[in-house]
A and B are shown apart, each in its own frame.
Chain A
Amino acid sequence: SQQGEEDPQALSIQEGENATMNCSYKTSINNLQWYRQNSGRGLVHLILIRSNEREKHSGRLRVTLDTSKKSSSLLITASRAADTASYFCATDDGAGFQKLVFGTGTRLLVSP
């Protein structure tokens, strides 16, 4: 797989349920970020987790990072219809450069 591959590609749940998205990457990283993109809009930064961190919380978001498996997960608890969007993980290239390498994204649909 390429740097930053998410699964599932699409996820459909009911309001109130939890949504879990996974991301895998190939190279060493300094940090991993999750972004949200509403249809036709820009990317909104959700959370950043550094390579020496294993778990991070922000509101209803919980991110884990397993550098030994080169994988991360994003959990959205008690989902709302407004969470409907595409979610992308993004990594730096580990070489100290600033560019982000994005995954293919997970399309989340939360039905009322």
Chain B
Amino acid sequence: EPEVTQTPSHQVTQMGQEVILRCVPISNHLYFYWYRQILGQKVEFLVSFYNNEISEKSEIFDDQFSVERPDGSNFTLKIRSTKLEDSAMYFCASGTTQPQHFGDGTRLSIL
């Protein structure tokens, strides 16, 4: 069964550094998403992407965040200048309508 894959599984970064999280969605899906889950808390929506543009974003997704689909397969989330509070699991998801299919996540640790 096709899967959403995310790399790396764990990223450790110094505060203030840029980080890029990578995702390969399921190939025939049209909608792409990023969510995050701070340890012990809810999964929170960050951004959705459709037709090569952001379709919706949350309050969390401020100017420090950006998404890109640089080619036909990858979908990336960039955090320009990381803060301690960006430490979380970041999940990529894709779908046509619902349901959404999630990757295993990238654990981002900011030091």
Measuring CB to CB, which residues of chain A are less than 8 angstroms from any residue of chain B? 4, 31, 33, 35, 40-45, 48, 88, 90, 92, 97-105
Contact = CB atoms under 8 A, between A and B. Distances in A.
B75 interface: no
Contacts of A42: 4, 91, 102-105
B100 A88 contact: no
Contacts of B50: 98
A24 to B, nearest CB: 14
Contact of A98 (B4, B31, B42, B58): B31
Interface size class of B (residues with CB under 8 A): 20 to 34
23 contacts: A4-B42, A40-B107, A42-B4, A42-B91, A42-B103, A42-B104, A42-B105, A43-B43, A43-B102, A44-B102, A45-B100, A88-B43, A97-B55, A98-B33, A98-B56, A98-B98, A99-B48, A99-B56, A100-B35, A100-B43, A100-B45, A102-B44, A104-B42
Interface in B26-66: 31, 33, 35, 42-45, 48, 50, 55-56, 58
5 closest Cβ pairs, A-B complex:
A42-B104, A102-B43, A43-B102, A99-B45, A45-B99
Contacts of A31: 98
Interface of B: 4, 31, 33, 35, 42-45, 48, 50, 55-56, 58, 91, 93, 95, 97-105, 107
A29 B42 CA distance: 19
B99 A98 contact: no
A103 to B, nearest CB: 7
B105 A103 contact: no
B104 A101 contact: no
Contacts of A90: 43
Contact of B95 (A43, A88, A97, A98): A98
Contacts of B97: 98
A43 to B, nearest CB: 4
